Amino acid sequence: MLYTLYEAGYYGSTPLRMAARMTRDFWSSPLNPAADTEFGRSLYAGADLFANLTRRYGKPAWGVDSVKIDGQPVRVRPTEVWSSPWVKLTHFSRDMADMRKAGRRELEPAVLIVAPLSGHYATLLRGTVEAFLQDHEVFITEWTNAREVPISEGRFDFHDYIDHVRKMLQLLGPRPHVVAVCQPGPPVLAAAALMAEDGDESRPATMTFMGSPIDARLSPTVTNKLAEERPFAWFESNMIYTVPAPYAGLGRRVYPGFVQLASFMSMNLEKHQEAHLRYLQQLMAGDGDSADQHLKFYDEYLSVLDLTEEFYLQTVDVVFQRYLLPKGELVHRGRPVRPELITDIGLLTVEGEMDDISGIGQTQAAHTLCSGLPDELKEDYVQPHVGHYGVFNGRRFREEIYPRVRAFVRTADRRFDKARVAA
């Protein structure tokens, strides 16, 4: 019912939204002699804010058309290389002629960036992709909005996620590198453990976990406490709704993106209110550059997708309530998941000192679980002065975190090449 009411609210506000857009266009027109008056700017700012707050935010474009490598611009083209109803594997293909101009003539390491399936689109990792493109063949998971998947396509749960990660690593093999940002940590570690146990030739050469809840019992945050304090039945009753028409997933039970977004925003409600007030003041003052930065952030932040009922509830249960992976009790398709059997996959964990989503120690827990790895294959790094988002985006990520990941990957590749020659 809530989903239907949400949609009715959106469509019901359409006349007001259209009126706001017309008002905005009228008071921003260069043909309007009063547009640059205080009165005109105030009307424009109010109409613009209303239009933006009530409009639909679709999936953002990547906008990654080129990247600079050693000062040389290199053209980039996102290309779909594999898909299922639940995910699209995108390769950011770099132009080879431009690469040669930049002095890069050899094939560079393949990196699979596993984007979180936790409400936002993979484009939230735009900065992550741009950094890795400097030195790697970059592939990323673009998870599908569950409301767009017909019921006839069946279910998608936590274990399907593990299978998908394994399938995509096999497509990139042998020995690709994998980077799990936030939510994917537990299923990516599970996939790597299963591949290691099977001696899969496509098992990753390295796995990097960034702000991931490997063991959510450690340094619990507000998010962790909410999941722990509420009974499982509460999440079933209060977080799951049915997709209405006109979406392709009509009738599918989902955890809606707008519910997740409301949860995100309520955690820092005052900050968001202040940000929109500043935006209003910037428009009234004619500060277009600052206003554009606000829009750029919120165009991404307010773009959300739905998760399937089974995936969301299993994640709550497996990761945030029963802690099956760190307790050694996770079973996948009848097989125990045993990270201790990983012996030749490099492990790098990255955490943010001020992370209020995945607390300090939750990601580091991977080192304890991967007890079969020698110390020379392990590395841990805590980035000072950054929160959750800063672990994978922003200036400190580009200048301090990414160089460490790059060095770790290069060292692992050299070790892998020596082992292959010796064999």
Whether 246 maps to a domain, the answer reads: no
Whether 384 maps to a domain, the answer reads: yes
Q: What is the mean pLDDT of residues 200-210?
A: 97
Domain assignment of residue 42, given as a range: 2-56+258-301
pLDDT digits (tens, 9 = 90+) for 330-353: 999 999 999 999 999 999 999 999
Q: What is the mean pLDDT of residues 270-286?
A: 75
Domain co-membership, 274 together with 379: no
Given pLDDT bands bounded at 50, 70 and 90, which one contains residue 317? very high
Domain co-membership, 296 together with 339: no
Given pLDDT bands bounded at 50, 70 and 90, which one contains residue 365? very high
Given pLDDT bands bounded at 50, 70 and 90, which one contains residue 30? confident
Q: What is the mean pLDDT of the chain?
A: 90
* Of the listed ranges 60-74, 228-242, 283-297, the one predicted with least confidence: 283-297
What does the block give as tokens for 340?
Answer: 């201790």
What does the block give as tokens for 382?
Answer: 């805590």
pLDDT at 382 over 90: yes
Provide the domain count of the chain.
2
**According to the model, what pLDDT value does residue 42 have?**
84
pLDDT cut 90: percent of the chain above it: 65
**According to the model, what pLDDT value does residue 301 have?**
77
Report residue 407: phi and psi, to 5°. -65, -40
pLDDT at 423 over 60: no
Q: What is the mean pLDDT of residues 142-171?
A: 97
What are residue 111's DSSP bridge partners? 138, 177
Q: What is the mean pLDDT of residues 369-385?
A: 96
Domain co-membership, 78 together with 116: yes
pLDDT digits (tens, 9 = 90+) for 32-85: 888 888 887 888 778 877 787 777 888 899 999 999 999 999 999 999 999 999
Q: What is the mean pLDDT of residues 10-39?
A: 83
Work out whether the CA dihedral 131, 67, 415, 176 comes out positive or negative: positive
Domain co-membership, 110 together with 27: no
Domain co-membership, 211 together with 356: yes
* Contact assessment for residue 408 and residue 348, using Cβ atoms and an 8 Å cutoff: yes
pLDDT at 421 over 60: no
Domain co-membership, 141 together with 116: yes
Closest alpha carbon to 205 in 125, 136, 140, 141 = 136
CATH number of residue 197's parent domain: 3.40.50.1820
Amino acid letter for position 170 = Q
* Contact assessment for residue 175 and residue 275, using Cβ atoms and an 8 Å cutoff: no
Domain co-membership, 129 together with 97: yes
Higher pLDDT residue, 416 or 411? 411
